[in-house]
Amino acid sequence: MAHVVTEPCFDCKYTNCVVVCPTDAFRDGERMLFIDPESCIDCDHCGAECPTHAIFWEDDVPEPWRYYIALNREMSAICPPIVDRKEPLAGKGETGEA
């Protein structure tokens, strides 16, 4: 089982989660982040750091967002790794406001 990035990350891309990941499991998509399920060790450091509460254990992903499980697997295979903090999309700060 792995962690999964879901809907609240779309068009945000906070990277608080990226810098605490001990296995560099995050991948940098154009409009959101993804977690490589093969690299994730289920440590939950990322979930605690996500300001939008977009990261869930695979079994706990809310029903409307279950398709993100497959999307994370698919996109993590083609998106580059991300290990450093970057500015969120649209100049959003810690509060999520532009």
What's the CATH code of the domain at 12? 3.30.70.20
Q: Is residue 63 part of a domain?
A: yes
Overall domain count for the chain: 1
Across the chain, which has 98 residues, the per-10-residue mean pLDDT values are 95 95 97 97 95 96 98 98 92 48
pLDDT, residue 1, reads: 78
* Distance (Å, whole) CA 18 – CA 63: 25
SS3 68: helix
- Residue 4 has phi, psi (to 5 degrees) of -135, 135
Domain of 71, in residue numbers: 3-81
Terminal-residue alpha carbon distance, the chain: 34
At 77 the pLDDT is 97
- What's the pLDDT score for residue 95? 47
Residue 93 lies in a domain: no
- pLDDT for 91 equals 55
* Residue 98 maps to a domain: no
Q: What is residue 92's predicted lDDT score, i.e. its pLDDT?
A: 55
- Furthest CA-CA distance within the chain: 34
Report the pLDDT value the prediction gives residue 98, as an integer from 0 to 100: 37
